[in-house]
Structure 1
Amino acid sequence: MFLRDDGILTMMFDHIADAIKAPALIRLAPNLYLARFETMKVYSTLVAVKTLLDRGLVRPGDTLLDSSSGIYAYALALACHKFGMKCHIVGSQTVDRTLLVQLQILGATVEQVPALATLKLDQSRRVERVAELLAAHPGTHWMQQYHDDIHYLGYEPVAAHIAAMLDVRRLTLVGSVGSGCSTGGLITALRCHDPAVAMIGIQPFGSVTFGSEHVADPGIIIAGIGSSIPFRNVRHELYDAIHWVSFDAGMAGAVALLRDHGIFAGLSSGCTYLVGLEEARRHPDRDILLIAPDTGHRYIDAVFARHAEATRPDALAPIMIETLDELALPWSALAWNRRQLDDVRGAPFKIPMNEGQEPWRIC
């Protein structure tokens, strides 16, 4: 860290991953803030790989393997580049060309499984392909971003930064659920500062994670925030409320975030902005912090080029529901109250478990 003659504080990094991992905190309104990451999962992936190396579970030169079609693939490729590891990504045909070329130049090998009829079949096939690769190459380490809670580590510095800037006693965090580790790891670290920090999770319609698989979105299941297969890393009991947001509503939020604040972020950030505006209006006594996990480049054609079609956020409002049977497009919200999924849906929900795995502790 250096203080220049003109008073500007600068820092020197040894690797680009360290330079881009931290978020910029931006005030959008009197009680509305946004943590804008270039690629959020870099933070946890760097810590996860270093932890595996420190504990002798992997060695420099080993191959790290996982399934991803988005920002986790980029984060893992950067971590492998920094620590001298090999990287293999099993992705879908939806990996955009910009990301694919970057991964290849970083030294990662990327195989894209053939497109299948549904997202569930696509995700299941990628998991099957990972199993095939592990059987053929037993020395390969599967990172299991969906199931290994080592990915919860790494968010303590982000939580400490947030706690230094905002009053955690009146803080509500809003972010997309996805694999569970980003919002899960951050809220767990924040609750080390104060257990009362609230967490609102964002889900798409059609995702099994919080029980909306029976409601189809005529748009798409928004990449990175939901799933058609169970993820063990999602801890349902961390969330105080869940909002289900449609593609069209998320597009409205993403376009408005760029138009209103000049922030170019992904579709999940648009969903978060939509929910955050509502929360800030309803709860002026609380600070609302939105998580924007990536930039908007992958959504240029699907979202931003269609900006003229986007609805203004003030024309949208959530349908407040009490049971999952009441879920309805374009936007529904439920007080989750830190419950297990079975307690809300009234039926057992089976999640694949890894035998013998000890939980990683944050605080």
Structure 2
Amino acid sequence: MHDHFAEAVKEPDLVRVREDLVCVRFETMKIYSALGAVRRLLETGAVRPGDTLIDSSSGIYAHALALACNRYGLHCHIVGSTTVDATLKVQLEILGATLEQVQPSRSLKLDQSLRVRRITEILRENPSYHWMRQYHDEIHYLGYREVAEQLDRAVPPGPLSLSGGVGTGASTGAIASFLGELGRDVTLVGVQPFGSVTFGAEHVADPEMIIAGIGSSIEFENVRHELYDRIHWISFEYAMSAAVDLLRCSGVFAGLSAGAAYLAAHWERERDPGRHHVFLAADTGHRYAESAYSRHREAFELERMRPREVGVLSELACPWSAMDWARRPACARTHDVLGVA
């Protein structure tokens, strides 16, 4: 019996999509991140019940933080992107969170910059607010230890490959780190959208890109680049196509980042069949029903989509590029440093 829905909703479902290919499907993955961070803040006295927590979100983290604040008696203020839909808005309102959205923008860079700028303004007006800094604070790693322990129990012993959106780094990076501490041999495969600066793809544009939660036009300070073995950059049309295939073949209805992670994991499974392959589905597909799933007749067949394997970042190109990152540090994100691995 759970004391709050936040504790119940965080539990993921593990679905075997193909032999040695497992989907970890969350209702809202970042609840682990939010709960772990809020608990630590309360334990250390950095915040107290009744305080206000603030952050920027494209949707998933907003819901997670609102649930965590409701669970622990804290106020929550979200500066959201335009991807926060009506269903989430009404949940946030009832949970006691306040939401303000920046003006609509077709540019990922402008959208995220506007959100961060607005948070800075709010903090000047309300210095007692605590900025959660999900993009920068490594406190968000803590909650994912539980996911790693669950995967370690569920996936048979042996080498494991984990694929998922890089995002803030506090999901794929954290889970892989904790799996390593548990003694698992882990290959970490990060998924990025084109246009994200995190792994040096800011020079390649994808005009349809709406999977902002897995990449950014601003620096994410809590991404540990040296944890990642492979990086896949995947366009909207390929992520949508893979998400449609995932729903059709397994019944898993998940977000675009899940489609991208599924596509990457499917390819890595072909390259490295000696491992168990796991990919993360961070949220459900409901907020993408109109923008992506309604276009399912346009979807490409999974087997017909293949990546462009690149050796340097200047070779990146839509709709799908992949690269051996080989656990290089962040300073390797320049076109002249990365040679053929």
Number of the residue aligned with 1:24: 13
Q: Percent identity?
A: 55
* Deviation string, structure 1 residues 128-184 (Cα, Å, up to 9, x no partner): 111111111111100000011100001112111111122453100000111111111
Q: For the residues of structure 2 that align with 1:195 and 1:257, how far apart are their CA atoms?
A: 27
Please name the residue that 1:5 is paired with.
none
Alpha-carbon distance in structure 2 between the residues aligned to 1:204 and 1:142:
26
Does 278-287 or 238-247 show the bigger shift?
Answer: 278-287
- Higher deviation after alignment, 279-288 or 199-208: 279-288
8 Å contact 1:205–1:221 — kept in the other structure? no
Distance 1:168 1:138 in 2: 49
Structure 1 residues 95 and 243, CA gap change in structure 2 (3 angstroms) = same
Provide TM-score, normalisation by structure 1: 0.90
1:141 to 126, 130, 140: 130
Where in structure 2 are the equivalents of 1:81-120 lying within 5 Å?
81-116=70-105, 118-120=107-109
Q: Which amino acid aligns with 2:294?
A: A
**1:186 positional shift:** 0.9
Alignment partner of 1:334 out of 323, 327, 340: 323
Question: After the TM superposition, which of the residue ranges 197-206 and 156-165 deviates more from structure 2?
Answer: 156-165
In structure 2, the residue corresponding to 1:67 is in which secondary structure? strand
Contact 1:58 1:141 in 2 (8 A): yes
* 1:61 aligns with one of 44, 50, 74: 50
Partner of residue 274, structure 1: 263
The answer to whether 1:217 aligns with 2:206 is yes
Indicate whether 1:196 and 2:185 are aligned: yes
Aligned to 1:163: 152
1:347, CA displacement in angstroms? 7.1
The DSSP-based 3-state class of the residue aligned with 1:34 is: strand
How many angstroms apart in 2 are the aligned matches of 1:313 and 1:297? 22
Q: What is the distance in 1 between the residues matched to 2:297 and 2:104? A: 30
Q: CA deviation at 1:284?
A: 1.8
Figure out how many residues of one structure are paired with residues of the other and give that number: 337
Which residue is 1:45 aligned to?
Answer: 34
Q: Structure 1: state its 5+ residue gaps.
A: 1-11, 349-363
Q: Distance in 2 between matches of 1:145 and 1:205?
A: 21
User: Paired residue for 2:299?
Assistant: 310
- What secondary structure sits across from 1:18 in the alignment? helix
- Could you tell me which residue of structure 2 aligns to residue 355 of structure 1? none
Equivalent AA in structure 1 for residue 96 of structure 2: G
Distance apart, 1:344 and its partner CA = 4.5
**Hey, what does 1:352 align to over in structure 2?**
none
Per-residue CA deviations over 1:1-27 (Å, capped at 9, x if unaligned) read xxxxxxxxxxx1111010011211111
| Cα distance in 1, alignment partners of residues 281 and 137 from structure 2 | 23
**Residues 169 and 194 of structure 1 are in contact (CA less than 8 Å); yes or no, is this contact kept in structure 2?**
no
The residue that corresponds to 2:172 in the other structure is 183
Query: Structure 1, residues 196-218: CA drift from partner, whole Å, max 9, x if none?
Result: 31100000111111111111113
Task: Return the alpha-carbon distance in structure 1 between the equivalents of residues 106 and 23 of structure 2.
Answer: 36
- Residue 276 of structure 2 is matched in structure 1 by 287
Determine if contact 1:63/1:88 at 8 Å carries over to the other structure: yes
Q: Equivalent residue for 2:139?
A: 150
1:247 aligned residue: 236
Counterpart Cα distance in 2 of 1:262 and 1:143: 35
Secondary structure in structure 2 of the residue aligned to 1:33 = strand
Q: Which moved more, 1:122-131 or 1:289-298?
A: 122-131
3-state secondary structure, aligned to 1:155: helix
Q: Is the 8 A contact 1:248 1:310 kept in 2?
A: yes
Cα distance in 1 between the residues matched to 2:71 and 2:215? 29
Deviates more, 1:239-248 or 1:209-218: 209-218
* Gap runs ≥5 in structure 2: none
Note if contact 1:34-1:290 (Cα within 8 Å) is conserved in structure 2.
yes
**Higher radius of gyration, 1 or 2:** 1
* 1:233 corresponds to which of 204, 214, 222: 222
Q: State the alpha-carbon separation in 1 of the partners of residues 210 and 28 from structure 2.
A: 20
